[in-house]
Amino acid sequence: MKDTLLSHINYPEDLRKLSTNQLPDLAKELRNFVINIVASKEGHLGASLGVIELTIALHYIFDTPNDLLVWDVGHQAYPHKILTGRKSLFHTNRQLNGISGFPKRSESEYDTFGVGHSSTSISATLGMAIASKLKGNSVKQHIAVIGDASIASGMAFEGLNHAGVTDANMLIILNDNSIGIDPSVGALKEYLTKARVGYKPKTDNIIEALNFKYFGPIDGHDLPTLLKTLEKLKTIKGPKLLHIITTKGKGLKQAEENQVTYHAPGKFDAHTGELIPKKDIQQPPKFQDVFGYTILELARKNEKIIGITPAMPTGSSLKYMMQEMPDRAFDVGIAEQHAITLAAGMATQGLIPFCTIYSTFLQRAYDQLIHDVALQNLPVIFCIDRAGLVGADGATHHGVFDIAYLNCIPNMIIAAPANEIELRNLIYTSTLGLKNPIAIRYPRGRGKIIDWKVPMTEISIGKGKCLRNEISKIAIISTGTIANNIIDALKHIDKTISHYHFCFIKPLDSELLKEILQKHTTVITAEDGVIKGGFGSTIIDFANHHNFQNRVITLGVPDHFIHQGTTEELQEICGISVEKIRETIINLN
């Protein structure tokens, strides 16, 4: 690294040696550093570029890590990581054995709280502030940085509601850029839209109504004003909120103009900002697009079909239906609990609600799954995107728990298609008058079938099928797209092995399963999810219940959190890659 201001800064204590006049130059260097690394290594760009000045000001004014700083979600924490001892490691961001793409307590004492899902920062910071008071420390500062999309979440409101009746020494910084991953939605967004630098709406100030001292709005890119304001706020006790207005993608023209694309743009030219075009070859579709185009196709013919997503219209591809049918497709914001109970309410009135939600975010609404949907046996259709290992986002985003946490819920149908056509047929089947809720899980990324837009056919609920029938002592039973890894692995094995695909994890095809257990002495199960409580556990339970003595080997995600890496690398670690499956079969006695 050439001799720059940034080259001499490894920790905030180095930053504080600079004069305030040097900080704007440092901001330029830090912004360029982020752009240059993310251009080639990929990651979350826009959010981090939007908080360059704020990050510098926070670490300059506050005595971190003694003062506690919590970043909500963590998409915007790259500048924080660079200034807190990880500059030389930043090129390993989101890579196997590298640093995490999100703040992580085990990685640095400056990462005071592990994040990845939104809206946790206020509750965590309040907990820290109360702890400091109980310990008799009235000097320590506690700061939460939260975006305008995240603060609209129910959990954030719960934290605000509690904090407002305490005297906790905490500062919430509302980073208002009118966008999360997609543009922010909802009534609070409408209120914030009225605010601008130097002008605070005089009526309906919800923050002041919750007993917070409200400061701002100020320009979040104006370093002198940020420094002056933060210095002042250090001396004010009790709960307070500073509203700053920023531009997501600040400093890179394309990222400012196309904020959705440049949230996590992939590889791009660091000098021009232009995305590096992918090879112009015909590719299979992304599973999210199979969902998005299929629900739109069906909704054109069936006016009862409704689409719902909690803040992921682009990521889930519900955006296609939202564009054509805005009165029947809803982005409800970061509100997973509300999304599910909203769908349940619609189902009571004869509508056909599709709730499309990432597996890792469905965890946030578990009570609603049980109490509001399954207990009442309402036919809500859950299209669970990003199921299984998702790669570089790491432990906070892997969708590996859904089979296990859904499997124990009565009335729930659980399906995992092997490919795009089966997903399409499942979505169609779900509209034909199911009497139960159904969860359809599918992975991140692309499938394998180019010509997937074929006429849809009904699937028999609870039926499996044989993909490879051999006279053999060994059978493999898979669920979901991991079937493709098994098909590839079996191409390079001399042993005779049968392979069965169970699209339905619940209800199981009990007749086929009995036949498999009678014909084969060794059964291998494979799933892109946790082993404990997962599909393999269900097969073992079934065998025990029916007094079978087969040897059952379960392949899947082991009982510890899996961190970041490519999906292929992580499948290798978990023993469900093509090569690891092949090795398991070859090594069988």
Whether omega for the bond prior to residue 437 falls within 30 degrees of 0, making it cis, is: no
Q: What separation in angstroms does the CA of 80 have from each of 86, 124, 259?
A: 9, 18, 21
**364, 441, 444, 582: which one is catalytic?**
364
Question: What gap in Å lies between CA 158 and CA 165, rounded to an integer?
Answer: 12
- Measured CA to CA, the distance from residue 565 to residue 134 in angstroms comes to 40
**Residue 336 annotated as catalytic:** yes
In angstroms, the CA 414 to CA 459 distance is 13
Whole-number Cα distances in Å, 216 to 176, 195, 226, 566: 11, 9, 10, 42
Active site residue 29: no
* Residue 436 exposed, middle or buried by CB count within 10 Å (0-12, 13-18, 19+): middle
Signed CA dihedral, 56, 61, 66, 69: sign only: negative
Which of these, 207, 156, 147, lies nearest to 179 by C-alpha position?
147
Tokens 């007993």 sit on residue: 211
Q: Which of 317, 538, 219, 236 is nearest to 406 (CA)?
A: 538
Q: Which residue has the tokens 């469900």?
A: 576
Strand-pairing partners, residue 69, are 143
Cβ neighbours, 10 Å, residue 202: 7
Instruction: Identify whether the C-beta of residue 180 lies closer than 8 Å to the C-beta of residue 150.
Output: yes
Annotated catalytic residue, options 53, 336, 420, 527: 336
User: Which residue bears the tokens 């009982």?
Assistant: 559
| C-alpha span between 139 and 169 (Å, rounded) | 8
Catalytic residue among 94, 104, 248, 444: 248
Q: Can 248 be counted among the known catalytic residues?
A: yes
Tokens for 73, please give them: 């979600």
Token pair 């440092």 in the structure block, residue: 26
User: Minimal CA–CA distance to 459: which of 485, 440, 486?
Assistant: 440
Q: What angle do CA 396, 398, 404 make, to 5 degrees?
A: 110
Task: Give me the residue label for tokens 């290594």.
Answer: 41
Task: Give the C-alpha distances (Å, rounded to integers) separating 513 from 419, 525, 562.
Answer: 21, 12, 31
Catalytic (active-site) positions: 248, 336, 364
